[in-house]
Amino acid sequence: MPAAADLIDLIVFGAAPDAAWRSAVHEAGFAWQAAADVAALHATLRRTGDAVCGVLLDLRTVDDADRLQALAAELAAPRLRSLCVHGSDAPAGGALFDLTLRYCVDSLAEPVQAGVLKLALDSLHRRLRLLRAARARVVPAAARAGPGGLLGDSVPMRRLRYELEKVAASDVPVFISGETGVGKEVAARAIHDLSPRRAQPFVAINCGAIPPHLLQSELFGYEKGAFTGASQRRIGRIETASGGTLLLDEIGDLPADAQVGLLRFLQEGRIERLGGTASIAVDVRVLSATHVDLLQAQHNGQFRTDLYHRLCVVEIGVPPLRARGDDIVLLAGCVLDLHRREASRRVVGFTDAALHALRAHAWPGNVRELINRVRRALVMCEGERIDAADLGLTPPRTVDAPGGSLEQVRDQAIGRAINSALERNQNTVVRAADELGVSRATLYRLMERHGITPDSRHRA
């Protein structure tokens, strides 16, 4: 008997299954539902969400190329595994052959004996169980991403989530720091999504992307006739965010005159549109972010100290990608799933060499660079798995210890482990010791032995 939509783990596509097919499906342990055409298949797949699912394809009477192409588009999802039954005279080539080769784990030619179909369905059931198990090793980390799309389960990311949850509950101004491409806006969005203002607007403005002479009108808006070309009133970005959250991205690039107006708004909670005289109260939570060192900018006279203290009541640092360990592989897999359709062929994952290269790369461009490299690889890849060369990376080479001594190899490995742990934990020795599973005193002794200090880790 067909299953309810939320219990489906097999979709039978094509003509209504006869008694022999229904019996084989039932004996294999599937909860199934029929889909007579591509539209029905699409609708059923939507109801199954992101769950792993099998598809039993009855293509014995399907030979229309357009229909097969539409069917192939539905089967491309990585959560699906398909089994095909086709006619005995199916040509070795063409759309049907290509669909079977790309998207089916097995194919059977009619006439199909009940026992053979049962064995194939048993095999499909096992494959689906394995796929669920494989996804389960990744999904818990992804599931903990929470609001804002923060993916990862590394120590730095768990700490970042904790800090974001702490500051989200209040309206205190938060300054988000981090290198270019680490996801500062994603962190800001997470604060908004976790806050009591989550149902109100989230407005982000890149202070470095707007010409200085337009920045005041963008932030505060203007009245009709305020300047040449101002044919009607325009609400500024600050006022647009009223009741919600305003992110001032790249605040370090804010010109001096705009800094004065912003400081007045932060002090008073009120704005005046250009060309207007009314003082307008605006209730908005202000977040800011930049890759610029604002302390150095203050020292150089490029950023007002009083504005800095208004914006930076709490500072949260977003960790660089190179400090996030196996999160790199998780993020690469998520990017692959998101952009898989950009590939000209079916791509199912990464080679071992590619995974080693992903972990070893320094990622100066952080998450933004990772996204670009994976999308490039999807275009350049010539097989089913992305290799290091497709990513534009070189696999790390194993370097022998001088003299080949086991003691030297062990010491070098310990030194690298300590360096990595300190980097992931922002040079906090207590946290690094906890991650490495040793006492703080033991870690200090090892650091002294290897010539490592939190401020000069390059000496290891």
* Structure confidence by residue, pLDDT tens digits, 293-346: 888 989 888 999 999 999 999 999 999 998 888 788 888 888 888 888 777 777
**CA 75 to CA 274: how far, in whole Å?**
55
Judge whether 246 and 285 are in contact, CB under 8 Å: yes
**CA 424 to CA 319: how far, in whole Å?**
8
**CA 252 to CA 289: how far, in whole Å?**
8
Provide the mean pLDDT of the chain.
82
110 DSSP assignment: S
Judge whether 348 and 384 are in contact, CB under 8 Å: yes
Q: Is 365 helix (H, G, I), strand (E, B) or coil?
A: coil
Predicted pLDDT at 321 = 92
Count Cα neighbours of 173 within 13 Å in the Cβ-side half-sphere.
19
Largest CA distance in the chain: 85
The torsion defined by the Cα of 400, 401, 404 and 408, in degrees rounded to 10, comes to -150
Cα distances (Å, whole numbers) of residue 39 to 13, 73, 74, 201: 11, 12, 10, 36
Q: Please determine, for residue 186, whether its predicted confidence score (pLDDT) is greater than 80.
A: yes
Cα distances (Å, whole numbers) of residue 154 to 6, 135, 157, 234, 322: 32, 18, 5, 44, 11
Q: Please determine, for residue 183, whether its predicted confidence score (pLDDT) is greater than 70.
A: yes
Judge whether 202 and 244 are in contact, CB under 8 Å: yes
Cα distances (Å, whole numbers) of residue 426 to 287, 375, 414, 416, 421: 23, 30, 18, 15, 9
Q: Please determine, for residue 459, whether its predicted confidence score (pLDDT) is greater than 80.
A: no
Task: Catalogue all structural domains in the chain, each as residue range(s) with its CATH number.
Answer: 5-135 (3.40.50.2300), 162-317 (3.40.50.300), 321-386 (1.10.8.60), 402-459 (1.10.10)
Q: What is the pLDDT of residues 222-275, one digit of tens each?
A: 888 888 888 888 888 899 999 999 999 999 988 888 888 889 888 888 888 888
Q: What is the pLDDT of residues 418-432, one digit of tens each?
A: 887 787 777 888 877
Name the nearest CA neighbour of 12 among 101, 96, 117, 88: 117
89 pLDDT tier (thresholds 50, 70, 90): low
Q: Pairing between strand 270-271 and 280-281?
A: antiparallel
Name the nearest CA neighbour of 265 among 273, 256, 277: 273
Q: Is 289 helix (H, G, I), strand (E, B) or coil?
A: strand
**CA 213 to CA 283: how far, in whole Å?**
26
Amino acid type, 79: R
This prediction's pTM: 0.57
Name the nearest CA neighbour of 125 among 183, 53, 58, 77: 53
Ramachandran sector of residue 437 (left: φ over 0; alpha: ψ -120 to 50; beta: rest): left
